[in-house]
Amino acid sequence: MSKQTHVLITGGAGFIGSHVADELLAHGYRVRVLDNLTPQVHGPARAVPSYLSPQVEFLLGDVRDRNLVRRALTGVDAVFHFAAAVGVGQSMYEIAEYTSVNDLGTANLLQEIIARPVKALIVASSMSVYGEGLYQDGSEPVVANERPLKQLQAGEWEVRNAGGETLVPQPTPESKPPQLSSVYALSKYDQERMCLIVARTYGFRATALRFFNVYGPRQSLSNPYTGVLAIFASRLLNGNRPLIFEDGMQRRDFVSVHDVARACRLALESPAAAGGVMNVGSGRSVSICEVARKVAKVLGCEKIEPQMTGRYRAGDIRHCFADISLAERLLGYKPEIDFDAGIDDLAVWLRKQAPEDRVAEACAELSTRGLTV
């Protein structure tokens, strides 16, 4: 791609999209953003966030508006498609909304791209499409089944084989078959498959990036369905105990948004990425308990201990962390920010925020609907 490439980012006023905009601008690209400034993320005023670069051409509107999408694509060479409703738990009761935004919105975008071809399309997918990550049973890698409800009701959290033995979590590669355990996961898989199928049919490049747990400045702290790091920070900054489901020993891959933004630019610039899916993570795993304590420490809230709920949410999985060898090989991607440095970076930003803690409200909503056990 030429550095004069004109790029559209749908959902580009959000957390990841705005960092990608900064990364592209820093490397000489022209950037246009289409975003509906949804109140759950941006607040009821729906104001353009102050962190969005003034060099960005901003269009207010919804990706489901075909006329607006047509206008947004005018003169564009490449598209990053980040517009999506995000959240595993909420997707299990806002089914029509998640399907409309994520599936119909993507279909609208692709319909207009067919009429106004672009050179490349990068779509944001999610580690949620894997369900449980890859495991090892003895010396053999195995694809684990979902944990039985009876086991979860007994407070037995680890993934087991047919003989009742605990399986050992392993880095999850892109070859691991999807196990779609939530409406959100299903919609993200739909997004990536639609983009890859249409791109192959009409002859343009497309790449799906499966983001793991992205964290960093600009996360929506008042959105109770955002990333767990932001949720913990919101609780702590309001003097409340972080709520941890299960026993807190579930492991995830936390990757800095700065590394993710760089991976996105590399995907745009790397023809070898065309037609495929690849993980974007740190390649390391951290327990949720460890995350809660690290966030409390950097915020000076060590005395606020996390609260173990001992409950399970529909759609949750036990362990999943990334094998990033494919992105390393095809993109030249290598994470540069380790977790401790990333948390320190996040803390500098967090200390200037005054989030509204809506976590209890979200938990009550899930419980009322029978989505926690």
Question: Which domains are assigned to the chain?
Answer: 6-133+170-310+319-368 (3.40.50.720), 134-169 (no CATH)
Handedness of CA 358, 239, 219, 55 (dihedral sign): positive
What span, in angstroms and rounded, lies between the C-alpha atoms of 337 and 332? 15
Q: Which of 184, 225, 312, 333 is catalytic?
A: 184
What span, in angstroms and rounded, lies between the C-alpha atoms of 261 and 268? 11
What is the per-residue pLDDT for 1?
61
pTM score:
0.95
What span, in angstroms and rounded, lies between the C-alpha atoms of 107 and 89? 24
**Residue among 266, 120, 128, 271 nearest 198 (CA):** 120
Cα angle 206, 268, 129 (rounded to 5 degrees) comes to 50
What separation in angstroms does the CA of 330 have from each of 125, 153, 279?
18, 43, 11
What is the per-residue pLDDT for 3?
58
Contact 72, 9 (CB under 8 A): no
What span, in angstroms and rounded, lies between the C-alpha atoms of 85 and 38? 9
What is the per-residue pLDDT for 2?
58
Residue 110 CA to chain centroid, in angstroms? 21
Q: Which structure tokens are listed for 326?
A: 């494919």
DSSP 29-61: -EEEEEE---HHHH-TT-PPPTTS-TTSEEEES
Contact 319, 133 (CB under 8 A): yes
* Whether 184 is catalytic: yes
**Residue among 105, 317, 331 nearest 208 (CA):** 331
What span, in angstroms and rounded, lies between the C-alpha atoms of 27 and 16? 17
What is the per-residue pLDDT for 206?
98
What is the per-residue pLDDT for 193?
98
Going residue by residue through the chain (373 aa), what tens digit of pLDDT does each one get? 655 799 999 999 999 999 999 999 999 999 999 999 999 899 888 899 999 999 999 999 999 999 999 999 999 999 999 999 998 989 999 999 999 999 999 999 999 999 999 999 999 999 999 999 999 998 899 999 899 999 999 999 999 999 999 999 999 999 999 999 999 999 999 999 999 999 999 999 999 999 999 999 999 887 777 788 888 988 998 999 999 999 999 999 999 999 999 999 999 999 999 999 999 999 999 999 999 999 999 999 989 999 999 999 888 999 999 999 999 999 999 999 999 999 999 988 888 887 777 777 778 777 888 778 7
